[in-house]
Amino acid sequence: MLKFTVRSPFLLIYIFFICINFSYKLDGGTNSDSRFAMMRAMLDEKTFIINKYREWTVDWSQTPDQNYYSNKAPGPSLLGLPAFYFIDKIRPQEVRPSMIFENYLCMITQVVPFLLALAVLVYFMRKKNVPWRALHLMVLLLLFGNTAALFMNTFFGHGFVGTLIVLLCIGLYTKKDFLIGLSYGLCLLSEYGLALFLLPLLLYLGIERKNFRWLGFFVLGGLIPAVLWVWYHVSCFDSPFVIAAKYMNPYFQSVKSSNNLFNIFSTEFRWKVFFMLLFGGERGILVTQPWVLFLIGLIPMQIFKRDAHREHQGLVILGITLFTLLLLMNVNFGTWNSGWAPGPRYLSPAFVFLAFIVGLSYDTFSLEGKSFLWLGALVAFVVFASVASNSILAPEDISLFEWFSRNVYSDIPKYSWMKFIGFLVIFAVLNVATWVLVREQELFGMD
């Protein structure tokens, strides 16, 4: 495995991913601070109550006993606590973590684990003869071409969940049911919206396995996440069936109609928001990662092609289902545009899974279909360059087009446009070199 990774044609891209995430520091703002408040409370106060640190963030929930808690799913904070403790010993003067502290934490809990998980996924896919050219695009989309990748260097939790989704993909691809249960359980602990994915996942496993022997391993894998879930939610909200959304800061209770849940979810389908999420200039998929829409357009043709590889069509359908469910959830969410963010971040888990689907399906598409995927990927790479050269916190009140252009020409930070151009140039050179190595691997059959 190690020898395979070191000799991989993607090694230069892996190194660039590490360097770019270590070199630029991004402030996660109130979102990251909510998780930091919880981790600081656990470390110093031995409690989940963040009363002492509430002024750090507006992302809190207040229970009837007047105590404050983070309003985030607890997975990243619980699992990231050992790394937080380690960095805290190195930088003991920082009660409230700085950007440098956040960068170190993200490198340990998100960037490096994500890269290692991706390398393992590539290894197993290559063992089953998935073409190098398909893996090339998949690797680029996972590292630089989706909204989750933008958050690898901030502790929003999306990069953390992205790593868990890659582990889930490994489990599904290799049919390791314990890993599927473990990774999905940790996903749910880290992203509440993924509860919607449980039934489709169970249906897929039941149909694909054709027996129920898998269920025991799946449940066993999910046991540790389940224990953590019960412990946290009973400690904070007196029930394993109550989450922080019930006691959300009124600032985020933006749904005023009578048809709502906790005043943060609308129970009426909002068509305008639906189209804005797909095509709008504020947070639309079309302006941030259009390869997703192109892939979804190509999938029906791929499924019904006679010569298509049918072995993985269940996974393809599962990926589309995940995207659809999270999209419908996002449509009904009061703050559907996800606040100050450079993309539809609530859909991040689906984007990671769909990048995996690109790797599985790429060779079944026509030349025109592959060209559309690469074109959509290029747009996503430019978005990544814009964020890496400036900030992750895109304002809510302007379009992303306007924000991206401001980023490139901004003097705050200085030389933002130089960073933007520099990223794209280095990225292009590395990918030309990678393409040459991929062609060499394919021509001479080297692994």
Checking if the pLDDT of 409 tops 70, the result is no
- Average pLDDT over the chain reads 88
Whether 99 is in a domain gets the answer yes
pTM: 0.93
pLDDT band at 337 (very low <50, low <70, confident <90, very high): confident
Q: Is residue 11 part of a domain?
A: no
Does residue 279 form part of some domain?
Answer: yes
Cα 61 to Cα 190, 266, 297, distances in angstroms:
17, 19, 40
In a domain, 21, yes or no: no
Grade residue 266 by pLDDT with cuts at 50, 70 and 90.
low
Structure tokens at 322: 């995940």
Helices (H), 222-363: 223-237, 271-279, 285-288, 291-304, 313-331, 348-361
Tell me whether residue 47 is in a domain.
Answer: yes
Q: What is the pLDDT of residues 152-166, one digit of tens each?
A: 999 888 999 999 999
In a domain, residue 3? The reply is no
- Sequence-distant (6+) residues with CB within 8 A of 409 are 416, 417
Angle between helices 367-388 and 291-304 (to 10 degrees): 160
Domain count, the chain: 1
The parent domain of residue 415 ranges over: 30-249+270-442
What is the average pLDDT across 45-51?
A: 95
50-88 pLDDT per residue, tens: 999 999 999 999 999 999 999 999 999 999 999 999 999
- Other residues' Cβ atoms within 10 Å of the Cβ of residue 213: 9
More confident residue, 97 or 161: 161
Greatest mean pLDDT among 170-184, 252-266, 327-341, 406-420: 170-184
The arithmetic mean of pLDDT across residues 170-182, rounded, is 97
Of residues 438 and 17, more confidently modeled: 17
Residue 332 forms part of a structural domain: yes
Q: Is residue 98 part of a domain?
A: yes
